Amino acid sequence: MAQVMIDIAGTELTAEDKQLLAHPDVNGLILFTRNFVSIEQVESLVAAARAASETPLLVAVDHEGGRVQRFRDGFSAIPAMARIAELPHDEQLAAAQDLGWLMAREVRAVGIDISFAPVLDINGCSEVIGDRAFASDVQQVAHIAQAFIEGMHEAGMGATGKHFPGHGSVAADSHFAVPVDSRSKEAIFNTDLPVFDMLADRLAGMMPAHVIYEQVDPQPAGFSHYWLQTILREQLGFNGLIFSDDLSMQGATVVGDMRQRALAALQAGCDMVLVCNDRDAAFELLQQPLPDTSARSRQRLQAMLGAANYERMDELQRSNRWQEVQRWLERISG
């Protein structure tokens, strides 16, 4: 069994979707805004996807807050993470923990296991990161992110840090280009890596960047044995699940076709590869056997499954904690 995460196009499963979800190598599903109409609909969609899968299915979403919040109607409007650092200093950590709890608890309330959060990049020149990052100062990012992660843990969700080892200091957007970070190894290790180092033991997952750090390794980080094994696993001691970023992104094309990308990511050390927004490529990838993942890798996946038993949204919204956080959100948005 390999570990592949796919997407779907609509708000209900098609016969083709069910065929893919039943493939033994498919044990992940990521949802997007196009898959959402209402709380009840997405809850039913998740249940149908689990029923179609032949293996325990990890269901994920990018629901960071701000610009990157896939579900809106019926969900709290989570502010961009940079907003936390604008609060009075003595309010920041409590706010971060509350927002981590709120985001994770609402995502879990429709049966989804994880949100790919938080962003641990240092806010630099990257517009695609920008206010998705907590701050531009390493210590501030680490402290606020730690509190946000604690909130996610309180809600029963493992956190996934991204985009290792740091996407904030390269202007190009890896969705549409092949970003190259020309800084020295010393600059990267002094500026970007410390946050991942400080938080590695608090993260259940990690997502590397489709960025080439040309002074360190010629491959994008997600295809680099050096970044994923030597630095992330050995130096930082990270023991969680490594997700590739979407292999359909332009930043991944330097490695070859979809099969070459998937094999390169798995060989470099990714536990699960994401193939999104390209159904033909997903089908093509799954036509031939992929390398089996290790028992340890399967254990990492199992550890991230968490939404089998969950408090539904109507129950959550009646809780004192949820109502308190809503009052706080109203105050900062006013």
Residue 280 marked ligand-binding:
no
Q: Which of 175, 217, 225, 278 is catalytic?
A: 175
> Under the phi-then-psi rule, with left for phi > 0, alpha for psi from -120 to 50, and beta for the rest, what region is 277?
left
Compute how many other C-beta atoms are within 10 angstroms of the C-beta atom of residue 209.
Answer: 26
Q: Residue 14, SS3?
A: coil
Cα separation, 274 vs 290, in Å, equals 14
Active site residue 245: yes
Q: Is 18 annotated as a binding residue?
A: no
Torsion, CA 132, CA 127, CA 248, CA 5, rounded to 10 = 0
Alpha helices in the chain (DSSP H): 15-21, 39-52, 82-85, 89-108, 138-154, 185-191, 193-199, 225, 258-268, 279-285, 295-304, 313-317, 320-333
| Catalytic entry in 98, 113, 192, 245 | 245
Helices (H), 53-88: 82-85
Does 70 appear as a known binding residue?
Answer: yes
Nearest to 163 by CA among 150, 139, 179: 179
DSSP annotation string for 114-168: EE---B----SS-TTTGGGSS-SSHHHHHHHHHHHHHHHHHTT---EEEEET--T
Find how far residue 196's CA is from the centre of its chain: 14
* Alpha-carbon gap, residue 198 to 281, rounded angstroms: 37
Residues annotated as part of the active site: 175, 245
User: Binding site for substrate: what residues are annotated?
Assistant: 62, 70, 132, 162-163
User: Binding site: what residues are annotated?
Assistant: 62, 70, 132, 162-163
